[in-house]
Amino acid sequence: MSGIFDPAAFERQTGGDAALRAEIIQMFLEDCPGRVEEIRAAVTRGDAPALVSSAHALKGSAAYLSASIVRARAADLERLGREQRMSDAPAMLARLDAAVAELLTELEKHR
């Protein structure tokens, strides 16, 4: 297991409710690509407040999903935005992209 997603923690998070887990996974699969595009656009524009907002939203979704690596990458981007360190954001965005791609693949197996 890659550690990108912790199904046991997610099951505990949702109180063992399989239907709720399926619904949350579906919502994340639908929402995540757009959220990452918002982050990408903020990085491209050098828009720190937009980066903070979008990265924070993704961080929360990933945390609830028990996707700690994506949560950490989003938190790193949020921090960069807060610190106005936008020159470091493209490299962190690449790390987020890789983690998100792995997570989406893993979540497809748990639908």
Report pLDDT digits (tens) over 10-42: 999 999 999 999 999 999 999 999 999 999 999
Instruction: Write down the pLDDT at residue 111.
Output: 79
Residue 24 has phi, psi (to 5 degrees) of: -65, -45
CATH fold of 7-106: Four Helix Bundle (Hemerythrin (Met), subunit A) (1.20.120)
Amino acid at the residue 69? I
Instruction: Write down the pLDDT at residue 90.
Output: 98
In which residue are the tokens 């903020």 written? 42
| 31/73 Cα distance (integer angstroms) | 17
* Per-residue pLDDT band at 2 (split at 50, 70, 90): low
- Whether residue 1 is predicted with pLDDT greater than 80 in this model: the reply is no
Average pLDDT of span 61-86: 96
Q: Take residue 41 and report the two structure tokens written for it.
A: 């656009």
Residues 40-52: pLDDT tens digits?
A: 999 999 999 999 9
Q: Take residue 91 and report the two structure tokens written for it.
A: 């490299």
- Whether residue 110 is predicted with pLDDT greater than 90 in this model: the reply is no
Average pLDDT of span 63-79: 96
* Percent of the residues in the chain that have a pLDDT greater than 70, as a whole number: 98
Supply the pTM of this predicted model: 0.93
| 72/52 Cα distance (integer angstroms) | 14
Whether the CA torsion 85, 91, 94, 95 is positive or negative: it is: negative
